[in-house]
Chains A and B, each alone.
Chain A
Amino acid sequence: KNEVEQSPQNLTAQEGEFITINCSYSVGISALHWLQQHPGGGIVSLFMLSSGKKKHGRLIATINIQEKHSSLHITASHPRDSAVYICAVTPGNQFYFGTGTSLTVIP
């Protein structure tokens, strides 16, 4: 069983749509991370959060510690948002990664 589960695995959206990617985890954590990986590219850290909500531009990340669940929202999606979005959690010094959600935004 994976410590981190993401849904959906694949997502296709029309430009401008509101997008939600979900992450559930089964371990106690000190923080949860959302990462973005473009095809053939490196990984960029989008958010690190341990409670509540964070916003950066069109991206919003929320976490519910009691329910062990986090969501990443993208408002007014754009083709350049097409990437794999990875949820990772840190219980202590370890990093557990989800398998990622592959997002394609069609113009």
Chain B
Amino acid sequence: DAMVIQNPRYQVTQFGKPVTLSCSQTLNHNVMYWYQQKSSQAPKLLFHYYDKDFNNEADTPDNFQSRRPNTSFCFLDIRSPGLGDAAMYLCATSRENADTQYFGPGTRLTVL
């Protein structure tokens, strides 16, 4: 039944140690989004893909990269996590741009 799946749900990494978060979808949606959400704040869009076209938000740090090898999967790579990168990372999909988004449960990242 799950439509947008994120793995792992909880991730602990060390300062500076690369980490990859995973998102998969069974909806066959064209658009996949990655958001960062810190405590008591609204989600912040990092980037999104329309199919294979990558769209980076202007203020997303270079430390954050993404890959979408196929329609179903999208990865968020954090090359050198800092303490300030500790947050909930949400993946979402939509059929088309600006359509209703379907969110995954999120991955909570802790940086030690």
Contact = CB atoms under 8 A, between A and B. Distances in A.
The answer to whether A and B come from one shared complex is yes
Interface of A: 30-31, 33, 35, 41-45, 48, 86, 90, 92-95, 97-100
Contacts, number: 46
Nearest to B55: A93
Nearest to B92: A43
Interface of B: 33, 41-45, 48, 50, 55, 90, 92, 97-106
A31 to B, nearest CB: 6
Given A42-B103, A45-B100, 13 more contacts: A41-B105, A43-B43, A43-B92, A43-B103, A45-B103, A90-B97, A90-B98, A92-B97, A93-B48, A93-B98, A95-B45, A99-B42, A100-B42
A48 B99 contact: yes
A42 B100 contact: no
